């Protein structure tokens, strides 16, 4: 039976895969698993129930799923504080700031509106490790003692949730944004109210797109996965910079004044150098994934910064940051984690600090981004192959060695099996697009030949 939890919580088509019954059951199971331990025992000894922060993005299915999750928690004796529509990183922050036992975020991030998801945060606002998610899954549907009478949980509105988060974000800024014109694309998502307020309060002049959520238009042609409208708006309004979030605002991508995209790798390069200059980059080390551009690694080396690489996924970046007490990491997709201020990727926080660096240095975003030369990157998904045999294929290994010899130190090759389908991802970076494309196609042919099913 496939694992219920994926790489980022439980996701599926709302009311088909992710039903109200499943949401209620997950909440009850999570209440049992996440209220064990010294913190919960201390609360009970003091006559207090466990507490949970619940939040959602604005997609329409979030309304009934929030109701189901809240009901499941309260029926298990957990007091629920409903924070309403806020970004995922805001929910994580509030769990820690409020001292809650755990949190629940109902969102499918950058997915289209019919999808939804349920993500849990442990005490302190941190993502759950796989083994804790497995225990929740095992507890799903099991018989549990349920409280009655005055022992059931209460459900209340978290009245100052947005204000707490806004004050927190503004308190992190190293420099105000006065004099800069920013176009914000909020993906018709969870950032639509908070991001404009924060950037305005920080001193920027703000123009908005994608900030009118109606429950069904989240990520629909806008946001970090659709940057054309943002680039056009920056050019139309003569703005200094464009900032794009995804539906739950844990990502940030940018557009410079000429309408050119600045991706997560370039953002990390800018922030890493700035933080190193200001003595804020622990061990002068950045954490990124194996999919980050070779140009990022070279830019870091040129600036005396070490770059550690992890498997693909922001959870692996966060694990390394935590284990080694580091302060900055992220992914090319725009998940950037600044551990001095957040326990997860935070798109608003990232955007604020990126624009603050423009204000601090007086440089344009294009000038700041020029610190990194982006190597052309070609990705080919080779489908319907025996991806499990990738590591055992002498033929594929020989093709990779040949490609690496041809590229030398002017490029890079990465082959990764998919974790969910019979597919191998072939990625090649080279000094020019034509070389990257030619070598990627050659490797894809080798994968098809040697890993045929």
**Strand 102-106 relative to strand 115-122: parallel, antiparallel, unpaired?**
antiparallel
- Find the range with the poorest average confidence among 57-66, 188-197, 240-249, 407-416: 407-416
- Is the pLDDT assigned to residue 44 strictly greater than 70? no
Catalytic residue list: 109
Determine phi and psi for 137, rounding to 5 degrees. Answer: -60, -40
The answer to whether 76 is annotated as binding is no
In the chain the first and final C-alpha atoms are separated, in Å, by: 23
Q: What is the pLDDT of residues 75-121, one digit of tens each?
A: 999 999 999 999 999 999 999 999 999 999 999 999 999 999 999 99
Q: What ranges do the domains of the chain cover? A: 10-158, 172-369, 377-450
CATH 3.10.105.10, applies to 172-369: no
> Fold identical between 10-158 and 172-369?
yes
DSSP label at 58?
S
**So what's the architecture of 377-450 in CATH?**
2-Layer Sandwich (3.30)
Cα 246 to its chain centre, rounded Å, is: 9
Q: What is the pLDDT of residues 45-54, one digit of tens each?
A: 666 799 999 9
Q: CA 98, CA 89: separation in Å to the nearest integer?
A: 14
pLDDT confidence band for 39 (50 / 70 / 90): low
Give counts: helices (H), strands (E), the chain.
15, 19
pLDDT confidence band for 418 (50 / 70 / 90): confident
Mean pLDDT for 386-404 is 91
Q: Give, in order, the Cα–Cα distances in Å from 136 to each of 28, 72, 162, 426.
A: 9, 13, 29, 35
pLDDT confidence band for 420 (50 / 70 / 90): low
The answer to whether 274 is annotated as binding is no
Q: What is the pLDDT of residues 123-177, one digit of tens each?
A: 999 999 889 999 999 999 888 778 999 999 999 999 999 999 999 999 999 999 9
Predicted confidence at residue 300, as pLDDT, reads 98
**So what's the architecture of 10-158 in CATH?**
3-Layer(aba) Sandwich (3.40)
What pTM was computed for the model? 0.91
The helix/strand/coil state of 336 is strand
Is the Cα torsion angle 315, 317, 323, 325 positive or negative in sign?
negative
The answer to whether 393 is annotated as binding is no
The answer to whether 82 is annotated as binding is no
Mean pLDDT for 217-225 is 96
Return mean pLDDT, the chain: 94
- In 58-151, which residue ranges form alpha helices assigned H by DSSP? 61-74, 88-98, 130-139
């Amino acid at each position: 039976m496939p694992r219920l939890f994926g790489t980022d919580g439980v996701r599926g088509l709302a009311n088909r895969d992710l039903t109200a019954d499943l949401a209620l059951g997950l909440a009850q199971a999570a209440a049992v698993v996440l209220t064990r331990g010294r913190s919960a025992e201390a609360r009970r000894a003091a006559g207090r129930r466990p507490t949970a922060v619940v939040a959602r993005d604005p997609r329409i299915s979030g309304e009934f799923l929030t109701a189901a999750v809240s009901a499941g928690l309260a029926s298990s004796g957990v007091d629920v504080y409903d924070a309403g529509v806020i970004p995922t990183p805001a929910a994580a922050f509030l769990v820690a700031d409020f001292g809650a036992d755990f949190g629940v975020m109902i969102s499918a991030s950058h997915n289209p509106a019919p999808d939804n998801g349920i993500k849990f945060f442990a005490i302190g606002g941190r993502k759950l490790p796989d083994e804790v998610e497995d225990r929740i899954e095992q507890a799903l549907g099991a018989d549990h003692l349920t409280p009655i009478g005055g022992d059931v949980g209460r459900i209340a509105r978290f009245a100052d949730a947005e204000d707490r988060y806004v004050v927190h974000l503004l308190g992190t800024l190293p420099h105000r944004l006065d004099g800069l014109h920013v176009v914000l694309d909020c993906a018709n998502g969870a950032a639509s109210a908070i991001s404009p307020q924060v950037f305005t309060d920080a001193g920027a002049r703000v123009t908005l797109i994608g900030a009118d959520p109606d429950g069904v238009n989240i990520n629909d042609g806008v946001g970090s996965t659709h940057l054309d409208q943002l680039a056009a708006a920056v050019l139309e309004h003569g703005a200094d910079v464009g900032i794009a979030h995804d539906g739950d605002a844990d990502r940030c991508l940018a557009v410079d004044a000429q309408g050119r995209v600045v991706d997560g790798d370039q953002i990390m390069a800018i922030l890493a150098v700035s933080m190193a200059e200001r003595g804020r980059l622990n061990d002068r080390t950045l954490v990124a994934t194996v999919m980050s551009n070779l140009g990022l690694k070279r830019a870091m080396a040129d600036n005396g910064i070490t770059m550690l690489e992890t498997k693909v996924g922001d959870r692996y970046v966060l694990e390394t940051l935590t284990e080694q007490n580091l302060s900055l990491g992220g992914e090319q997709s725009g998940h950037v984690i600044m551990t001095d201020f957040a326990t997860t990727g935070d798109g608003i926080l990232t955007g604020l600090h990126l624009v603050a660096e423009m204000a601090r240095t007086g440089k344009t975003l294009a000038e700041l981004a020029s610190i990194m030369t982006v190597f052309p990157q070609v990705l080919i998904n080779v489908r319907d192959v025996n991806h499990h045999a990738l590591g055992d294929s002498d033929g594929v290994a020989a093709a990779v060695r040949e490609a690496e010899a041809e590229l030398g130190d002017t490029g890079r090759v990465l082959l990764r099996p998919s974790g969910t389908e019979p597919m191998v991802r072939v990625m090649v970076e080279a000094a020019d697009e034509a070389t990257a494309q030619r070598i990627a196609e050659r490797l894809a042919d080798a994968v098809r030949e040697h890993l045929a099913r």
